[in-house]
Structures are given as structure tokens and as C-alpha cells.
Amino acid sequence: MFYAKSIAVVGASPDERKLGHIILKNLIDGGFKGDIYPINPKAEEILGKKVYRNLVDIESNVDLAVIVVPSKFVSSVLEDAGKKGVKNTVIITGGFREIGGEGEKLENELLEVAKKYGIRIIGPNCQGINNTHNNMCASWPLITKKGKIAIISQSGTVAAAFADWCEMEGFGFSCFVSLGNKADVNEADLIEFFSNDGNTEVVSLYIEGVKDGRAFMDVAKKCEKPIVVLKPGTTERGKKAVESHTKSMAGRDKVFEAACKQSGIIRAKNFEEFYDFSKALAYIPKIGGNRVLIVTSSGGAAILAIDVLEKHGFNVIYTPEELKEKLREVTPAHAILDNPIDLTGDANAEMYKSVIELSQDYVDAILVIFGDPIENASEVIEQCWNEKPIVVCYTGGGDVEREETKKMQSKGIPVFPTPERAAKAMVALRWWYGE
Amino acid sequence: MFYAKSIAVVGASPDERKLGHIILKNLIDGGFKGDIYPINPKAEEILGKKVYRNLVDIESNVDLAVIVVPSKFVSSVLEDAGKKGVKNTVIITGGFREIGGEGEKLENELLEVAKKYGIRIIGPNCQGINNTHNNMCASWPLITKKGKIAIISQSGTVAAAFADWCEMEGFGFSCFVSLGNKADVNEADLIEFFSNDGNTEVVSLYIEGVKDGRAFMDVAKKCEKPIVVLKPGTTERGKKAVESHTKSMAGRDKVFEAACKQSGIIRAKNFEEFYDFSKALAYIPKIGGNRVLIVTSSGGAAILAIDVLEKHGFNVIYTPEELKEKLREVTPAHAILDNPIDLTGDANAEMYKSVIELSQDYVDAILVIFGDPIENASEVIEQCWNEKPIVVCYTGGGDVEREETKKMQSKGIPVFPTPERAAKAMVALRWWYGE
């Protein structure tokens, strides 16, 4: 499915506005290295590719069929796939179980055909899949930046927003999977797959309901990579909306919460946590204990972080006398050394570097807050990155902040825009590596 | 103080790196329309302005003196101010009570001189003031965009970050006040002032401690404008850090929380709420009740919002049959009309407009979520803006999202980047206008 070497786009279209065109174009423009077969009974050539009338007509092997034809034709396309020996399909088309009645019947038909031929289905009613490490954007928009996070989502928009943030911040992602109706492939199958995918470090999952709770917990427990979950429907009204959105059962939230705890799943409370936790877990090294030191140019920003850290079991240590003595030699006279180490407004990158280097033997992690337009912040962090784990917040630094943040993130160093978000990311790291 | 017509910069410097230069330059470049007097005993002219040896030498009236000389000289500058009849001062210089011992003594001296002459002081140890409506940036960085929010802060960085976000999003601010040590002017004085300032709609306050609890509550109660407060030190460790940062007493958090409730102050839990609540209260019209309808192209994003709304007392109504019938005529067959009104992925701006127009008589507010790259979203919102209150979230829309968001915000229409943040902003509006 994800490392397909040949792909058919069934329902490829010459019309630029249609998904059957956009997906074909994204596969080509995304640099897919295998064979691409557009299928359309009425066209000869689309985007320079020879068009086939149906799957059966293709001479060579087809690893994956992406299906975008109207719902009533999908099951006959699956029949063709079966005859041709295509084992993997992604069905973009909507109009199945999510609309009830006739749609439900159509979806059951699909499943029968799939069962007959041993075909796996992602979808229907989904936004496709994109494995950047296989240059395979069978989805939209076109995103090609390779990263370490696999995004699995039951909402196209949540996944798109997540992917957009990954792209904007320069992290990219490993894979994007839109679950759709989960007629066949579900979250448990995908967790299992990504737990063995060498290009994925973190599995990020937006789901509205779990298909098989037992299977879900089993694969989650076995998965050695962090799984971050965002699951709405925590209120009664939210649950009702879940039902009408994806016909999922949100279930009792306390039960799901307990299941997450038992299976080592990290649960995000909102979209920003979902993104921040994933980014932190994918790119920040293991934090081995709860002793933290804060280096900052802003006392206020540090205190906002301290409240979050303290509430979640971190030990914001008091600076040992021995360390204080060392720090006195590299900091201005008016700096406050009590932790937060507050270099105050005239801090510069060199001071940060000295403090980080001197402090790292005394703690398990360092929270670095740049609270002013401090130039070359990125160089310092890069130089110190392979020592004690560092979590970076850059705030209140205007254009310099934007430039330095971009530099760091382009090197795979996460930067958080507020002290609370940086602190919360540290908390997620401790949840994963043990409190 | 804030509408000064003539300003002296005491400690103006020809050295571009010094604050005494930067502040003078920002006043000039910011287009201050009154007279500007640089003061420096050793220079003749700085940035094209005639330099005076001291305040007393200036021939005309001076409404405000901004003081940037070393701490030991500040009290003699205040003496000069007294003799000259300058009643308002902003003392940027640090090295007073915040460093204890000798600094405390120096700060007491200042207060004595000020008392003798009836001089008011903002600071010392602060980042200045900026009243955009008086083109008066006696601070840094230079920000000139006029807006409706007054920012008062005991942390330079928190204020700078807030101001930067205001500037980046096109909202600007009315005034920026850095409190510093609050030797004289404190949060209560400023709330009182801004409650009567015609250019300010919302007062946004970052404080680490309250100087006079009774006075604070009194002015807050009397203030007819929303006051949004971010106050850290909610944990024991945070309180300790507050003490060493600004020598403030954070006090018992429960007491402060109760005081906020009693005085109608809206308390933000973190920096993003601080910004979002301020923006919402300054720019979104009154929401007169708790019935809300959601128009979206993304079911998932809507559900994330619903959970937040429900938890905070909003009534996410079920769409009345009468309205459903009307909606059926303007929405695609596969749209879900149960509230959220889910137009699904092929929604366009025109559909949003029809739904908003038809729905507004049935609810007190509309949450509009653009969950795809929907073009002309900004036009629709602008056209509907003066009817029922609208809160906008734009997410998952890539470059189109960025462009449309920018257009809306440049017209003073707030856009929130996640459904939860939009929903929470609605909650803040209800807190203010009555639940």
C-alpha cells in the first residue's frame, strides 16, 4: 500500500478541477518513481500519460489502485482490481455508509468484493494517502517534505491543518492517511504498520471513534513508538455530532481516557497539543528525569512555563551554589541565577551558550527561552543540541524571532511560540519517557 | 502622560545601540507630532535634533520626560524635572528595587523627589510606553499600527510578544505600558485611565502581583470595558520565581481568582488565551445569548469546537426543521444540516453566505469554520459582519487560508487558527456579556 511501485488512478480526469486530475497530477509532480496508470474509458492521454480503459487492460503489475469514480461504479472497479490481482486500494469516493440507506448497502457490496479477492481498502470517503518517503502523494494538496510523523486522520481538515503546519514549519511528515469510513483498514491496522515503518518515529492519530477497542489497545501497547491521539466527543453534544459526522460511536470518554493510560497512548486535549506533542516526540531526544533548568531573557515568560511544569511533576530545581558560582563568571551582574537563570533584556547568544554548557550536568533537561530579538540563537542551540535535551521557546522577538525560529526548525530543532506550549511539550516528553 | 505634546529624552545618545538613541529614533520615526528634546550634556545634535544639557535649559513646556540615564543619576534628573515643572516621567533605567539593597534605597529617593514636586512615574526598570493614537512610541520596537487594545505589562517580553502578534495580525494596539517596578503608577491607576480613554476598548493586563488589592478591585468594577488578565504564580514554585523576578507577591491564587470573578475581570489561563480573548473582546460585537450555530466545511473541526462550547455553557442547538428546509435549497444534497451545518469538502463561499443569512434569526451567534482552501471567504464574512455576531476559524486551508485570513484581519475581523481557540474566544465573549 504505502511503498507501492506502480499505481493506477481509476477515474483520472482531464478536467483540472476534478480530484481524478488533481491526484494524478500530484503523483506526477510529487516525483513518484514507479509507473502511473490513469484509467478513464473516454480519454487517450492525460498529463502526458497513456490512459487505460480499465484496470484489466494494464499489461504490468499494479500495486495500488486509487479510486475516484462515482459511488455506484466503485464495486465493479473492485471486481476489476480483483481480476487484475491488485491487492491495495484507496477509495476517495464518498456516498457510502456516511449517507446511510443506499450508501450503506453500497459499502457492504464493496466489502464483499474485497473479501472475495483479498483486497485491502482505505476509505471510502477519504482524502487519500501520501507517503513522502515513497514520493507518493495520492492525496491533496501536494506535500513532499519528508519527515518523521505519520498522520492518521478521520477528518480531512484536521489532517490537512496538521500537514500544513508540518510543512510550514519545515518538519514535513512521513505519511498521511485519511481514514474515511474505515470500511476495512482502521486505526489499529495502521498503528501496527507504522510501528514497523522505518521512516516513522511518531504516530499521530485523529479519531472520532475506535472500531475495535481491544485490537486498538493491543497494537498500541505493542507499538514502541509514541502514539499521540486527538479524539473529540468528550461532551454529550460532541458525541451526537460525531455520530452524524462519521457514524462513529464516540463512546464514554472516561473509558477511552483509561484505555489511553493503560496502553501508553499520549492524549492531546486540543489541536495545538496534538501538533506540539507530535513535534516534540519526533524531534526532541529522551528526557531522562524531571529536574529542569530554565535559561531565559524574560522572567515573565519563564514563570508562565514554571507554573505548567510544576503542575505536571517537573522539578524546577533551585540552582545549586556550585553552579551559581560558575554562572556568575559568564553572566552580567544583574542576572538572576535562582532558576530561572534570567539573563534579562541585554542577553546575547554567547551568554546563553555559556549557561547551557555549564548547567547541563546538573539537570535532566533545559528549557531555553529567548524572550527578546536575540541574534544567532539558532547557532547556539545547534551547537548544544546533542548534549542534554533542550526545549526551545522563542517569543517577543519580532522579525529576529521569525528568522532564528525558521533556521532552527529547518535543522529539525522544534521551537515553540509560547512558554506554556514549550512547557507542555516537555510534559508530553516525560509522559512518554516515564515520569 | 499618554497624550503628551512635548517630550524630553533624558539620556539621549548618538550611539545607535543604546536605548537612549533607539527611543529617540522611535519617537521621530513613529511620527510624533509634538516637540522632541534630546538631553545629553556632551552632544550638540542627535538625529537632527538640537540637544539640551538638561531639562531646565529647555525654553518651552515639557509634558513628559523619558529617562534613560544610569540609576545613580535618576533622582537628580527628577529634581530637574520638578524645577522645570515636568509632571510626567517614564523611567526606563533599571538597578532599583529589583536588585535589592542599594537599588531599593535609590528607588525610595526617587519617590521622595517625585512626592515633593507632584511628579508621576512609570517604572523604573521598564520598557517605556507607546500610545499609537498619539504617534508616541517612547519604547521599542517601533510599532505604529493603531488599534483598540491597551496592553499593560509587568514583563517586557510578554508585552512585546503581545504587541508583535497584534502588529503581525494587523490589529495594532491603542497603548502599550510597561509597568516595571511600579514605584508609583500601578495597574489600578492605568485601568482607571484606560477606562476613560476613547481609543481603548479592551484593557489587557499581565501582572505578577497586585499592589493594592482593594483599589484594583474598585477600579476594575467601575471599568465599563473588558479587562483581560494573565497572572502567573499559580503554583508554589511559580510564586517563588515571581518574587525573584519583580519582587511582587503573587499571593494566594484562589483569592485572586475570586477577586477577578467579583470584579468582572476575565482571566486568561495562558498567553494564547490572553491574546485571543483581548482580540475577540475588542473586535467582535456583543453576543446576546448562548444559542450557537456552526457552519463548517469540516465535521471534525466543528466537533472539536462543540466540546469546548458545551463545556462552557453554550447551547449548540439542533437545527429547527423550518431552518433545515430553507437550508436544503442552498446546500448540496450530501451536506449535513443537523448543526454543525457541514457543507463538506466541496463547500464554496457562496454556500457559506446563504447559510449564514438564513440562519441568523435562529441563534445568538454563528461560528464559521473554513476547513478547506475556500476562496473569497473574506468577502462573505465582510458582507455578513454587521448582522448576527460571527466568530471565524480558518484552518487546513494552506496558502488560501493565509491570504483570506490576512484580508479579514486587515478589516478588523478576528480569525482564529484552531476551532478550539475560536470556541474559547466565544466563551470569553459570553463571560463578558453575561452568561
Q: What is the predicted pLDDT for the residue at A244?
A: 80
The CB density around residue B75, as the number of other CB atoms within 10 Å, is 17
SS (H, E, C) chain A: CCCCCEEEEECCCCCCCCHHHHHHHHHHHCCCCCEEEEECCCCCEECCEECECCHHHCCCCCCEEEECCCHHHHHHHHHHHHHHCCCEEEECCCCCHHHCHHHHHHHHHHHHHHHHHCCEEECCCCCEEEEHHHCEEEECCCCCCEEEEEEEECCHHHHHHHHHHHHHCCCCEEEEEECCCCCCCCHHHHHHHHHCCCCCCEEEEECCCCCCHHHHHHHHHHCCCCEEEECCCCCHHHHHHHHHHHCCCCCCHHHHHHHHHHHCCEECCCHHHHHHHHHHHHHCCCCCCCEEEEEECCHHHHHHHHHHHHHCCCEECCCCHHHHHHHHCCCCCCCECCCCEECCCCCCHHHHHHHHHHHHHHCCEEEEEECCCCCCHHHHHHHHCCCCCEEEEECCCHHHHHHHHHHHHHCCCCEECCHHHHHHHHHHHHHHHCC
8 Å CB contact of A155 and B395? no
How high is the ipTM of this complex? 0.93
8 Å CB contact of A232 and B304? yes
Q: What is the predicted pLDDT for the residue at A90?
A: 98
8 Å CB contact of A345 and B156? yes
Q: What is the predicted pLDDT for the residue at A435?
A: 61
Interface probe with A: pick from B239, B294, B307, most Cβ of A within 10 Å:
B307
Strand order in the sheet with A146-153: A136-139, A128-131, A173-178, A146-153, A202-206, A227-230, A266-267
Tell me whether the omega of the peptide bond preceding residue A14 falls within 30 degrees of 0, making it cis: no
Average pLDDT over residues A199-222: 94
**Closest residue of A to B160, CA-based?**
A396
Average model confidence (pLDDT) across chain B: 95
Q: What digits encode the pLDDT tens for the residues A252-270? A: 889 999 999 999 999 999 9
For residue A154, the chain B residues in CB contact (below 8 A) are 300
Chain-centroid distance, C-alpha B286:
19
8 Å CB contact of A155 and B300? yes
Closest by CA position to B1, among listed B161, B150, B208: B150
Residue, of A162 and B251, whose pLDDT is higher: A162
Interface probe with B: pick from A307, A312, A315, most Cβ of B within 10 Å:
A307
**Closest residue of A to B423, CA-based?**
A270
B24: cell is 529617540
* Residue among A232, A271, A303 whose CB faces B242 most closely: A303
Cβ atoms of A227 and A150 closer than 8 Å: no
Q: Are strands A173-178 and A128-131 parallel, antiparallel or unpaired?
A: antiparallel
Domains for chain B: give ranges and CATH numbers. 6-126 (3.40.50.720), 145-281 (3.40.50.261), 286-433 (3.40.50.261)
CA distance B368 to A275: 22
8 Å CB contact of A371 and B157? yes
Cβ atoms of A281 and A391 closer than 8 Å: no
* Chains A–B, number of C-beta pairs less than 8 Å apart: 214
**Closest residue of A to B230, CA-based?**
A304
Does position A141 have pLDDT exceeding 90, yes or no?
Answer: no
B367: cell is 461560528
Cβ atoms of B398 and A159 closer than 8 Å: no
CA distance B56 to chain A (A): 31
For residue B300, the chain A residues in CB contact (below 8 A) are 153-158, 206, 208, 232, 245
**pLDDT above 90 as % of chain A:** 89
CA distance B60 to chain A (A): 34
Average model confidence (pLDDT) across chain A: 95
Cβ atoms of A247 and A97 closer than 8 Å: yes
For residue A156, the chain B residues in CB contact (below 8 A) are 298, 300, 345, 371-372, 396
For residue A234, the chain B residues in CB contact (below 8 A) are 307, 311
**Closest residue of A to B343, CA-based?**
A245
Residue type, A241: A
CA distance A401 to A383: 18
Cβ atoms of A150 and A123 closer than 8 Å: no
Strand partners, B149: B202
Burial of residue B41 (CB within 10 Å: 0-12, 13-18, 19+) is exposed
Phi, psi (rounded to 5 degrees) for A187: -55, -35
Please give the C-alpha separations between residue B408 and each of A180, A426, B344, in angstroms, as whole numbers. Answer: 32, 35, 22
Average pLDDT over residues A217-236: 96
8 Å CB contact of A242 and B303? yes
For residue B208, the chain A residues in CB contact (below 8 A) are 300, 303
The CB density around residue B277, as the number of other CB atoms within 10 Å, is 27
CA distance B2 to B9: 15
* Residue among A271, A307, A421 whose CB faces B238 most closely: A307
8 Å CB contact of A270 and B420? yes
For residue B235, the chain A residues in CB contact (below 8 A) are 306-307, 310-311
* Residue among A237, A300, A310 whose CB faces B208 most closely: A300
CA distance A3 to A206: 23
SS (H, E, C) chain B: CCCCCEEEEECCCCCCCCHHHHHHHHHHHCCCCCEEEEECCCCCEECCEECECCHHHCCCCCCEEEECCCHHHHHHHHHHHHHHCCCEEEECCCCCHHHCHHHHHHHHHHHHHHHHHCCEEECCCCCEEEEHHHCEEEECCCCCCEEEEEEEECCHHHHHHHHHHHHHCCCCEEEEEECCCCCCCCHHHHHHHHHCCCCCCEEEEECCCCCCHHHHHHHHHHCCCCEEEECCCCCHHHHHHHHHHHCCCCCCHHHHHHHHHHHCCEECCCHHHHHHHHHHHHHCCCCCCCEEEEEECCHHHHHHHHHHHHHCCCEECCCCHHHHHHHHCCCCCCCECCCCEECCCCCCHHHHHHHHHHHHHHCCEEEEEECCCCCCHHHHHHHHCCCCCEEEEECCCHHHHHHHHHHHHHCCCCEECCHHHHHHHHHHHHHHHCC
CA distance B83 to chain A (A): 32
CA distance A65 to chain B (A): 22
- Give ∠ CA A69-A75-A81 in degrees, rounded to 5: 90
Q: What is the predicted pLDDT for the residue at A236?
A: 93
CA distance A398 to chain B (A): 6
Chain-centroid distance, C-alpha B95:
27
pLDDT less than 70: residues of chain B:
435
User: pTM for this structure?
Assistant: 0.95
Q: What digits encode the pLDDT tens for the residues A367-382? A: 999 999 999 999 999 9
8 Å CB contact of B398 and A342? no
Q: What is the predicted pLDDT for the residue at A252?
A: 85
B151: cell is 496592553
8 Å CB contact of B338 and A311? no
Does position A304 have pLDDT exceeding 70, yes or no?
Answer: yes
Q: What is the predicted pLDDT for the residue at B435?
A: 61
Q: What digits encode the pLDDT tens for the residues A330-354? A: 998 888 899 999 998 779 999 999 9
Phi, psi (rounded to 5 degrees) for B59: -75, -40
Closest by CA position to B130, among listed B274, B275, B272, B1: B1
For residue A157, the chain B residues in CB contact (below 8 A) are 297-298, 300-301, 371-372, 395-396
B27: cell is 519617537
CA distance A146 to chain B (A): 18
**pLDDT above 70 as % of chain A:** 100
